[in-house]
Amino acid sequence: MSTARFPNPSAPISLQEPIQVLLLENIHASAEKLLAAEGFVVERLAGALKPQELAERLRGVHLLGIRSKTTVPEEALAHAGGLLAIGAFCIGTNQIDLPASNRHGIPCFNAPFSNTRSVAEMVIAEIIVLTRQLFDRSREVHTGQWRKVATGSHEVRGKTLGIIGYGHIGSQLGVLAESLGMRVIYYDTMTKLPLGNSRSAASLGELLAESDFVTLHVPATASTHMMMGTAEFAQMKKGACLINASRGTVVDIGALAQALRSKHLGGAAVDVYPEEPETNSDGFLTELQNLPNVVLTPHIGGSTEEAQESIGREVATSLIKFVRSGATTGAVNFPQVEAPLIPGTHRILNVHRNIPGVLRDINRIVSDLNANIHAQVLSTDANIGYLVMDLDQDVSAPVCDAIAGLNSDIKTRIVS
């Protein structure tokens, strides 16, 4: 059983408690299965929680699992003295205050690959749906209208797909699009290996001017905030289509609606919005509703059974490894350490403020107890240091007590 000491006395955890896990937003049962098999107590909720409710629910919780809709602000973390780690059962981690989580000694893990294929496949479907106006034709037939027209419908073969953000999703999408005979260009702020016959555009403007379809696959950051607005839509070809399955903050929805109403753009497929409902029973309004040739989906790019099952296993495995050994490999906001457990030794994990002399102080504590350090791994970033220390003797409890008294201490935990 892991034990922990935390700087926040408002939420002490009992040394004998089993690990308590709170999984929100319908996280796949594959995660619960793995966590429960470890003896962890898992509570699963269908929807997201608002920050205030989250703060209340986090008392006594050791592991939190979320997807894209739960915002985790510093105020929630400040009340979560027992929280060991956060699992984002998705790719994006913009919903978590990562710097605050780092300062509180809480690593965040995500699943960087598991749903990428699902997004790429959905975008391929949308490209064809948009260029054949299938959504509108289908709606007409559903309402008894027979409009057999070819005007404005095209093959995708030979058309240009412009991919903004050529990462895990963008590059897979490029390969799939080429298999349909599309020409692929991309724009990325990093130098990327062009797959197949794809080519890097010299600038965002060049990509916008050349593409029949523009698709966004960038993370939500300051540099991507509203990166598609009135000026960018004006640079797109007349009749071109926009696809956004990245984040709602990347596109100015008002400007997109205007570009569609004016018929400068021929269509759009949008999966993500600046504000999204927290549960499936909440209503939803957007300016894009009821515009012609606009496909609106409820943030389902990564929502396939294959992806969700795989994400559940991947993130649960990272959380279990962290609880059992302190491994932080893959954490998005934390110094990375992965040290194998050594039989017969006693492991202590310590997160501290990255100030001079911490290791000296900790080593003095160990030496004053006449204990021997078998192995010690320290990894740091600008704010914190993360120390994994294996002792030959079982003096973990007094060592932890003494470390907790250091003014550098953020979080100290006995693993074994």
Ligand X SMILES: NC(=O)C1=CN([C@@H]2O[C@H](COP(=O)(O)OP(=O)(O)OC[C@H]3O[C@@H](n4cnc5c(N)ncnc54)[C@H](O)[C@@H]3O)[C@@H](O)[C@H]2O)C=CC1
- For residue 223, the partner it binds in ligand AKG, ligand X, none, with Cβ less than 5 to 8 A by kind, is ligand X
Q: Half-sphere exposure of 181 toward its Cβ, with a 13 Å CA cutoff?
A: 6
Q: Which residue among 178, 276, 278, 309 is the active-site one?
A: 276
Please give the span between the terminal C-alpha atoms of the chain, in angstroms, as a whole number. Answer: 7
Q: Which is nearer to ligand X, 149 or 222 (CB)?
A: 222
* Encoded tokens for 260: 């569609």
Please report how close the Cβ of residue 167 comes to ligand AKG at its closest, in angstroms.
Answer: 12
Q: Tell me the torsion sign for CA atoms 364, 366, 369, 374.
A: negative
DSSP-assigned letter for residue 96: B
Tell me the C-alpha distance between 228 and 209, whole Å.
13
Number of residues that bind ligand X (CB under 6 A): 31
Backbone Cα Rg of the chain: 25
Q: Which residue among 247, 346, 347, 352 is the active-site one?
A: 247
Distances (CA, A) of 185 to 159, 188, 193, 242: 11, 10, 12, 15
- Tell whether residue 350 is a contact of ligand X (CB under 6 A): no
Q: Which is nearer to ligand X, 220 or 294 (CB)?
A: 220
Tell me the C-alpha distance between 119 and 112, whole Å.
13
* DSSP 3-state of 182: coil
- For residue 285, the partner it binds in ligand X, ligand AKG, none, with Cβ less than 5 to 8 A by kind, is none
- For residue 217, the partner it binds in ligand X, ligand AKG, none, with Cβ less than 5 to 8 A by kind, is ligand X
x/- site string to ligand X, residues 164 to 203, per CB under 6 A? xxxxxxx----------------xxxx-------------
| DSSP for 383-408, written as a single string | SEEEEEEEESSS-HHHHHHHHHTSTT
- For residue 67, the partner it binds in ligand X, ligand AKG, none, with Cβ less than 5 to 8 A by kind, is ligand AKG
**Binding residue for ligand X, selected from 22, 77, 91, 348, defined by CB under 6 A:** 91
Please report how close the Cβ of residue 87 comes to ligand AKG at its closest, in angstroms.
Answer: 12
**Binding residue for ligand X, selected from 67, 117, 217, 237, defined by CB under 6 A:** 217
- For residue 190, the partner it binds in ligand AKG, ligand X, none, with Cβ less than 5 to 8 A by kind, is ligand X
Of the candidates 220, 212, 284, 226, the one whose C-alpha atom is nearest the C-alpha of residue 256 is 226
Q: Does 183 qualify as catalytic in the annotation?
A: no
Applying CB under 6 A, which residues contact ligand AKG? 67-68, 90-92, 115, 302-303
- Tell whether residue 137 is a contact of ligand X (CB under 6 A): no
User: Are the C-beta atoms of residues 211 and 237 closer than 8 Å to each other?
Assistant: yes
**Please, which contacts does 198-204 make with residues 24 or more away whose CB atoms are closer than 8 Å?**
198/163, 198/166, 198/171, 198/174, 200/166, 201/162, 204/164, 204/232
Please report how close the Cβ of residue 303 comes to ligand AKG at its closest, in angstroms.
Answer: 5
Of the candidates 321, 369, 377, the one whose C-alpha atom is nearest the C-alpha of residue 349 is 377
Q: Does 276 qualify as catalytic in the annotation?
A: yes
User: Are the C-beta atoms of residues 186 and 194 closer than 8 Å to each other?
Assistant: yes
Please report how close the Cβ of residue 27 comes to ligand AKG at its closest, in angstroms.
Answer: 9
Please report how close the Cβ of residue 93 comes to ligand X at its closest, in angstroms.
Answer: 8
- Tell whether residue 268 is a contact of ligand X (CB under 6 A): no
- Tell whether residue 228 is a contact of ligand X (CB under 6 A): no
**Binding residue for ligand X, selected from 81, 82, 162, 301, defined by CB under 6 A:** 301
- The H or E element containing residue 138 is helix 134-142
- Tell whether residue 106 is a contact of ligand X (CB under 6 A): no
Q: Which residue among 79, 104, 117, 299 is the active-site one?
A: 299
Q: Does 374 qualify as catalytic in the annotation?
A: no
Backbone dihedral angles phi then psi of residue 22, each to the nearest 5 degrees: -115, 115
Q: Which residue is nearest to ligand X (CB)?
A: 167
> Which are the catalytic amino acids?
247, 276, 299
Give me the residues that bind ligand X (CB under 6 A), please.
91-92, 115-116, 119, 164-170, 187-190, 217-221, 223-224, 245-247, 271-272, 299, 301-302
